Homo-oligomer: A and B are copies of this chain.
Amino acid sequence: MEQYTAIQEIKTANTKYDLHENIPARWSPRMFSTEPLGLEELNALFEAARWAASSNNEQPWRFIYAFKGTPAYEKMVRCLSDFNKKWARNAPVLLLTAIKEKFDSGKSNYHALHDLGLAMGNMTQEAQSRNIALHHMAGVDWQKAQEIFGVPEDYHIATAVAVGFYGGDASELPENLEKMERSHRKRLALEDIVFKGSWPAR
């Protein structure tokens, strides 16, 4: 636990502006506490996601969840990239997130992925308030997952997500992953992503 506190400190962002404590403290661990995550907590996360904004209030987000120790969980692990397979089983819960690709009118919903992101942002906020970490994974074989989990073709799996309480012991991870847990989070400078009045000339 003392070790974890040291990692949490490394991962906490140094912000120039005074932000809500959830923002600098959030990070994407590859290790989790052994404390189990219950259905009550999981449902609170889903309900947070549910209240996000979306284009035309379409709510294009869908979620499949599995608890560790169930066949569905093992099936999810099998859909992950080799890299993610090395650590994702540390999480007590795995999710698959999916989007509904079209409006009921049949028109393509360009903003579906954006809106799923907003919903996951809401989920992140609720999770962080409960000391629960989310680790989003792009490295998932979505076509394989689509088949295994019976996802209809008008939906598209977007990510897998590892969910669990913050904690765990970094030294139990493979060496290259342990190093990642002990490194500072890095971001582009604000002036590289925020422009006043127009895009900068280049």
A residues whose Cβ falls under 8 Å from a Cβ of B: 13, 15-20, 22-24, 26, 28, 40, 43-44, 46-53, 55-57, 59, 61-66, 70-72, 110-111, 113-122, 124-126, 129, 134-136, 138, 149-152, 155, 158-159, 185-188, 190, 193-199, 201-202
Asked if B46 and A138 make an inter-chain contact with CB atoms under 8 angstroms apart, the answer reads no
Count this chain's copies in the assembly.
2
List the B residue with the shortest CB-CB distance to A155.
Answer: B199
Q: In terms of DSSP, what is the predominant structure of the interface of chain A?
A: mixed
Q: Provide the residues of chain B in CB contact with A193, threshold 8 Å.
A: 46, 49-50, 59, 61-63
Q: Say yes or no: A121 contacts B52, CB within 8 Å.
A: yes
Q: Within 8 Å CB of A17, what residues of B?
A: 40, 43-44, 47
Residue of B nearest to A156 (CB): B110
